[in-house]
Amino acid sequence: MAISGPLVAIYPGSFDPVTNGHLDLIRRSAKLVGRLIVAVLNNTSKQPLFSVEERKLMLKEVTADLAQVEVDSFDGLLVDYAERCGAQAIVRGIRTTSDYESEMQMALMNRHLRPGTETIFLMAAEEYSFLSSRMVKEVVKLGGDVSGFVPSVVWRRLQGL
Ligand SMILES: Nc1ncnc2c1ncn2[C@@H]1O[C@H](COP(=O)(O)OP(=O)(O)O)[C@@H](O)[C@H]1O
Ligand SMILES: [Mg+2]
């Protein structure tokens, strides 16, 4: 797959909800590509806290200042969605060695399914390398303050639950 013109990349994830770790990755990868599509995976097997529409709205709000970033959602195979978008690359974040193992499996499978699809890995920011949406949800459920780890729009939504 020859790349002509600016690179189009997809940053797929659950984003349930978007955290400062995700946002750091979005900001950094947006500088590397011509167009970044942040895509919420409509995963019917996971029981989400926020609906796909709510997750998209929060993502749109926190990326409003980034001209090259779009927010969308998809279901089915990521590589099929990438094909439909004309995207050549996938962006993913690596926090720990356990991320590395599962991310490598996914990257290799995606390349097998659609040869030429490259996955671009960015290392998590140090301060967010232990941060996950799952952790945010658990702490909030127990009444803890995670305002330093999520955008303010997300923090307000979490408090309103
Ligand atoms: N704190 C963080 N810092 C950097 N990358 C992160 C962080 N949290 C999640 N990511 C990365 O963002 C991507 C999407 O994560 P997530 O929303 O958990 O969706 P998924 O269900 O695909 O794991 C993954 O590549 C994940 O490794
Ligand atoms: Mg995850």
What SS3 string covers the chain?
CCCCCCCEEEEEECCCCCCHHHHHHHHHHHCCCCEEEEEEECCCCCCCCCCHHHHHHHHHHHCCCCCCEEEEEECCCHHHHHHHHCCCEEEEEECCHHHHHHHHHHHHHHHHHCCCCEEEEEECCHHHCCCCHHHHHHHHHCCCCCCCCCCHHHHHHHHCC
pLDDT digits (tens, 9 = 90+) for 107-139: 999 999 999 999 999 999 999 999 999 999 999
- Which of 11, 23, 25 maximizes ligand 1 atoms within 8 Å of its Cβ, making it the mutation to test the pocket? 25
- Is residue 22 annotated as a catalytic residue, yes or no? yes
0.85 cut: is pTM over it? Answer: yes
128 lines ligand 1 (CB under 6 A): yes
pLDDT digits (tens, 9 = 90+) for 18-71: 999 999 999 999 999 999 999 999 988 889 999 999 999 999 999 999 999 999
Q: Ligand nearest 106 Cα, by number?
A: 1
